[in-house]
Amino acid sequence: MINVSVSILIAVVILILIIIIRCFRIVPQAHVFVIERLGSFRCEWQTGLHILVPFIDRIAGKVSLKEKVVDFKPQPVITKDNVTMQIDTVVFYQITDAKQYIYGVERPLDAIENLSATTLRNIIGEMELDATLTSRDVINTKITSILDQATDRWGIKVNRVELKNILPPREIQDAMEKQMKAERERREKILQAEGDKKSQILVAEGEKESQILRAQAKKEAQILEAEAEKQAMILRADAVKEQKILEATGEAQAIEMVQKALAESLVRLTQANPSEKVVQLKALESFAKAADGKATKIIIPSEIQGLAGLASSLKEIAGKDNQN
């Protein structure tokens, strides 16, 4: 009996120690514990050490305040132009009110998933295929705003929603690939045409510059040639001028010397006081010089005619003497 009592006492002590130990709870960083007392909400425990009243208080939920990421499976949606696509979303959310999160909604993740799917269908249903593929930012912003407003009463804040994948039907993808291929070929042809155009422009500009340079070189050569010809003509004209000046100077000096000699001869003749016959003889010599010219008619003065007769007589006498 004593041994049984001791065993029961030890068990009771151990149980009491376990209960006392479990009354002390530590709340980690970025977590909140929701506490109920006798089945109703009592308080929220923040980070630190807390004491739980046994059999009266209980932890209704442990809530993490960290931002969470949930990747929902693809949802079928239909665009305005009746194209069915598969779109999967990624939701970034954070719990801001632990009490509302525990008591506000059952299975909050399922609620967010269904809400995002219905919101996505409403938004995509108002857009055509091309707009859907090119308006990710617009769709993300609209879904984020609607989900954040709807989940506010659940103590959840939706920070961001992203469209992870947009998968149109296979035939649409094939058509888009063909369209993109045609667009790339068109751009390639445009770029090639622009390159050819620029190349032709550069070639034409180079030919133009070459022709301009050749014309300028030819012009400068002609100018230099004309200047050289001009200088040569000037030099030749100067030489002719100098030659004529020298010839004129020589003729003038010769005439001057002749005139001086004639004047001196007249002076000497005057000083010699010649007789009339000497004068007539000089006149006859002058007449002989005049007769040597090309004149067809000669007017002989009367004085010279007498001298001519005298000369003929003298010639006949001289001839007879030679015969004898």
Distance between CA atoms of residues 218 and 211, nearest Å: 10
- Tell me which H or E stretch contains 90: strand 84-95
Is the same domain home to 57 and 72? no
| pTM tops 0.85, yes or no | no
87 with 7, same domain?
Answer: no
State mean pLDDT over 115-120: 90
CA distance 275 to 224: 75
Is 245 a residue whose pLDDT tops 50? yes
Per-residue pLDDT tens digits for 131-184: 888 888 888 999 999 999 989 889 999 999 998 888 887 887 777 778 888 888
Q: What percent of the chain has pLDDT over 90?
A: 11
Q: Is the same domain home to 35 and 82?
A: no
Same domain, 153 and 229: no
> What mean pLDDT is predicted for residues 23-45?
89
Buried b (16+ CB within 10 A) or exposed e, 60-83: beebebeeeeeebeebebebeeeb
First to last CA, the chain: 229
Strand partners, 75: 87
| Rounded Cα distance, 139 and 123, in Å | 7
Encode pLDDT of 39-76 as tens digits: 888 999 998 888 888 888 888 889 999 999 998 888 88
Q: Based on the fold, state whether residues 116 and 193 are members of the same structural domain.
A: no
Q: Of 265, 288, 309, at which residue does a domain stop?
A: 265
Number of domains in the chain: 3
CATH number, domain of 105, equals: 3.30.479.30
pLDDT of 259-295, one tens digit each?
A: 787 777 767 766 766 666 555 666 656 555 555 555 5
Tell me: pLDDT of 309 over 60: no
| Residues spanned by the domain of 192 | 170-265
